[in-house]
Amino acid sequence: MIAITGANGNLGKATIGFLLKKIKPEQIVAIVRDPKKMDDLKDSGIQIRIADYDDLDSLNEALNGVEKLLQISAISIGEQGVKEEANVVKAARQQGVQHIVYTGAVKPKADAHFMATQQCLATESAILDSGIPHTFFGNSLYMETIPIFIGEALDHGTIYYPAGNGAVSFVSRVDIAEALSNVISSQGHENKRYEITGSKAYTFKEVALILTTERKITVSYVNIPNVVLAEELDKFQIPDDQIGWQLSLADSIKANEFSYVDGTLEDLLKRKPVELKDYLRNL
């Protein structure tokens, strides 16, 4: 049996969609907190089990009989996020899971600016310590996050974001899901690390240029100071720790922590990954 955590999220559900074309539904275990969020798949034949990353017992129950686990990184940040992801690894070890495929960050460095990268590294280290054979997906930023960065630029023509000249090898989340489904439904991926990126890294100025060409409206990029972003987020009553997390992401982009480009995704998909211009044209 193959289990997927975060199964009702964007990446988890898309991966299940691809998996259903490759293996029998009864071999798929979707692990979620709220089964109502799986209503669209309730008649698909997959097993839906309930667990919370914060509850080790529930994870142990959900992973009973599971051979392969796709562990999708958590949403919680800081120590809580590290603890939740460690719980998943602990339960996997206790239940004798034989292979963990974990989705983390591209080329993670111990001194990375981005707080989530630090969390992913902690989980990778817990998986290595567990002795369970692993496959690490080092994901670059999803193309699907671009609307968050560009805000209302398609209306007023300006992207305001503190990314400097940092470039990002944006990658389609749907492509990642398909690649994950290929990996977890086949053999030969144990103890490998795959850096999962788009085929080119783009600065925010280049993103603005592509939008201008593809959307026929003039878009420009303005690099704002971090404090301006922090003030904007504060206006929406975003908690301080979330603001710190957002600023760490901006700093990481500025420092080119997401600019690495790798051809592995094309190998895993056996086709060209989605191009940024095609994504932006249809945004």
Ligand X SMILES: NC(=O)c1ccc[n+]([C@@H]2O[C@H](COP(=O)([O-])OP(=O)(O)OC[C@H]3O[C@@H](n4cnc5c(N)ncnc54)[C@H](OP(=O)(O)O)[C@@H]3O)[C@@H](O)[C@H]2O)c1
Binding site for ligand X (CB under 6 A): 6, 8-12, 33-34, 37, 52-54, 72-75, 84, 139, 141-142, 145
**What are the residues facing 82 on neighbouring strands?**
none
Which of 130, 50, 52, 136 lies closest to 92, judged by CA? 130
Burial class (CB in 10 A: 0-12, 13-18, 19+), 255: middle
Closest distance of CB 85 from ligand X, Å = 9
**Residue closer to ligand X, measured from CB, 17 or 157:** 17
Closest distance of CB 247 from ligand X, Å = 16
Q: 159: which 2 tokens?
A: 């992207």
Burial 34-55 (b: 16+ CB within 10 A, else e): eeeebeebeeeebbbbebbbeb
Q: Check if the beta carbon of residue 145 is closer than 8 Å to that of residue 163.
A: no
* Rounded-to-integer distance, Cα 179 and Cα 177, Å: 5
Name the residue whose CB lies closest to ligand X: 9
**Residue closer to ligand X, measured from CB, 11 or 229:** 11
* Rounded-to-integer distance, Cα 281 and Cα 22, Å: 30
Closest distance of CB 271 from ligand X, Å = 21
Residue type, 256: N
Closest distance of CB 56 from ligand X, Å = 11
For tokens 């420092």, name the residue: 255
**Residue closer to ligand X, measured from CB, 142 or 202:** 142
**Residue closer to ligand X, measured from CB, 141 or 268:** 141
Closest distance of CB 126 from ligand X, Å = 15
**Residue closer to ligand X, measured from CB, 34 or 40:** 34
**Residue closer to ligand X, measured from CB, 105 or 153:** 105
Closest distance of CB 84 from ligand X, Å = 5
**Residue closer to ligand X, measured from CB, 52 or 275:** 52
Q: 16: which 2 tokens?
A: 């299940």
* Rounded-to-integer distance, Cα 138 and Cα 105, Å: 4
Closest distance of CB 259 from ligand X, Å = 14
Rg (CA), the chain: 19
Question: Beta strand pairing status for 167-168 and 202-203?
Answer: antiparallel
Residue 215 burial (CB count, 10 A): 15
* Rounded-to-integer distance, Cα 183 and Cα 167, Å: 28
